[in-house]
Amino acid sequence: MSVILKENVIDALKNVNDPDLHKDLVTLNMVKEITVEGKNITAVIELTTPACPLKDKIQSDCVAAIKKEIPSAENINIKMTSRVLSHNNDKKSAILPGVKNTIAVASGKGGVGKSTVAVNLAVALAKDGAKVGLIDADIYGPSIPIMLGIGEKPKIFQDTDSQKMMPLENFGIKLMSIGFLIDDSQPIIWRGPMASGAVKQFMSDVNWGELDYLIFDLPPGTGDIQLTLVQTIPLTGAVIVTTPQQVSLIDAQKGLQMFNRVNVPVFGIVENMSYFIAPDTGNRYDIFGNGGGEKLALELKVPFLGGIPIDPRIREGGDKGKPIVYDIPDSENSEKIMEIGRNLAAQISINNINSANQKVEILLGDD
Ligand SMILES: Nc1ncnc2c1ncn2[C@@H]1O[C@H](COP(=O)(O)OP(=O)(O)OP(=O)(O)O)[C@@H](O)[C@H]1O
Ligand SMILES: [Mg+2]
């Protein structure tokens, strides 16, 4: 081949598949720009999320495919960018127009570390470059402001025709909490009916701007309050947090059934407090049992997004308002949480690509 053409590069990239989306980059419309200057090739690949777990693999696959198809190429520069796909939902577009995806973090049982996981996942996605918001919808004990080190209350500002609340921000996360609206001393029975009203207000009266992912920390359990909430929020999908012991797994299963009932896809299970590694001896202790989350995911046919061990630094991070993924980013457990965030982002992309394809098929079918 004497002269390298853009078409040669496109042909080469047709051989590179996105392993999650099971199609090649050209078909997926991910190849955004190709420049050829003599024997130097630059290509821009647009991923469906900045938190793509396969970013490095796709990049090296592109280089390998171009080298194979165009042996005369000398410098191959693959630039990776991203644009998060949006969940198409009419209700969501009406109430949260700038928000691409909404994710509930839920658990059947209380105290499994749901809020800790929600906060750290939010920070993990933001660290990868996504625009992230977090709504603390746990009426029983809103804890996220503390975990994100946010003490003040949100401010209200006058929009052109209405009043809007500005979310608070820390670590690149925008936050609203039900704790800003309700008084801690109010009895729980009064808080129930307020929950869906407050969450509705968070969606319609807060200036979220543009967000790739808006995460909701739900109250633990699968009762009426939770069911009303998952019907009120136009959800893209849910994540279920569990600990490995049997009682928690049974409740996680109930959580999955609740989402199935209202047709909200479950993107996966996160097992928290998976085990403890003693810092002095390095010995591993399976305090709450072993492998339960992964087994449950297999049984329920939902992805296992990953496990997070018991680590006193995770608890300390929550107490002092500095999530571990931000505060100790190089620790093994922070890397585990980053990976869970990327697995979640991949599942969201897969969901949105599949539902977009379904839409196309339905449109074609109507013709
Ligand atoms: N992997 C972990 N290692 C150590 N401590 C943890 C871990 N996950 C959570 N914790 C701690 O366990 C406690 C409970 O966690 P968290 O508040 O996140 O649970 P939750 O499921 O949101 O609880 P609730 O049902 O009350 O809302 C907190 O003190 C938190 O810091
Ligand atoms: Mg909580």
Is the distance from CB of 145 to CB of 279 less than 8 angstroms? no
Q: What is the pLDDT of residue 275?
A: 87
Please report the pLDDT score of residue 291 as a whole number. 86
Q: Cα of 177 to ligand 2 centre, how many Å?
A: 12
C-beta separation of 234 from 89 below 8 A = yes
Give how far Cα 255 sits from Cα of 87, 127, 241, Å.
22, 29, 9
Give the span between the Cα atoms of 28 and 353, in whole angstroms.
Answer: 9
**Environment class of residue 258 by beta-carbon count within 10 Å: exposed (0-12), middle (13-18) or buried (19+)?**
buried
Cα–Cα dist 181/146, whole Å: 15
Task: Please count the helices (runs of H) and the strands (runs of E) in the chain.
Answer: 12, 16
Q: Is 141 in the pocket of ligand 1 (CB under 6 A)?
A: yes
Place of tokens 């990868």: 128
* pTM of the full structure: 0.93
* Range from 14-18, 19-23, 52-56, 153-157 carrying the lowest mean pLDDT: 153-157
User: Which residues have CB under 8 Å from 279's CB, separation 6+?
Assistant: none
State which amino acid sits at residue 46. E
Residues 308 and 325: beta-carbon distance below 8 Å = no
Q: What's the CA gap between 158 and 221, in Å, rounded?
A: 37
| Domain boundaries for CATH 3.30.300.130 within the chain | 6-82
pLDDT, residue 366, reads 42
Report the C-alpha gap between 148 and 209 in whole angstroms: 20
CATH of 90-358, picked from 3.40.50.920, 3.20.20.140, 3.40.50.300, 3.40.50.720, is 3.40.50.300
> Are the C-beta atoms of 340 and 333 separated by less than 8 Å?
no
Intervals of CATH 3.40.50.300 along the chain: 90-358
Q: For the ranges 295-309, 320-334, 346-360, which has the lowest average pLDDT?
A: 346-360
Q: Give the CATH number of domain 6-82.
A: 3.30.300.130
Beta bridge partners of 106: 240
Cα angle value 113/194/256 (rounded, 5°): 40
The residue to mutate among 109, 116, 311, having the most atoms of ligand 1 within 8 angstroms of its beta carbon, is 116
Does residue 264 carry a pLDDT above 70? Answer: yes
Q: 157 forms bridges with which residues in the sheet?
A: 164
Q: Is 115 in the pocket of ligand 1 (CB under 6 A)?
A: yes
Q: Cβ(315) to ligand 1 under 6 A?
A: yes
| pLDDT, tens digit, 9 for 90 and up, residues 129-176 | 999 999 999 888 789 999 999 988 888 777 667 788 899 999 999 999
End-to-end CA distance of the chain: 44
What pLDDT is recorded for position 163? 80
Q: Give residue 359's pLDDT band: very low, low, confident or very high (50, 70, 90).
A: low
Atom of ligand 1 minimally distant from the CA of 241? 21
b vs e for 213-228, b when ≥16 Cβ sit within 10 Å of the residue's Cβ?
bbbbbbbbbbeebbee
Distance 272 CA to ligand 2 centre (A): 13
Q: How confident is the model at residue 178 (pLDDT cuts 50, 70, 90)?
A: confident
Q: Is the dihedral of CA 43, 49, 50, 56 positive or negative?
A: negative
Ligand 1 contacts CB of residue 120 (under 6 A): no
Q: Which bin fits 111, alpha (ψ -120 to 50), beta or left (φ > 0)?
A: left
Pairing relation of β-strands 99-106 and 168-170?
unpaired
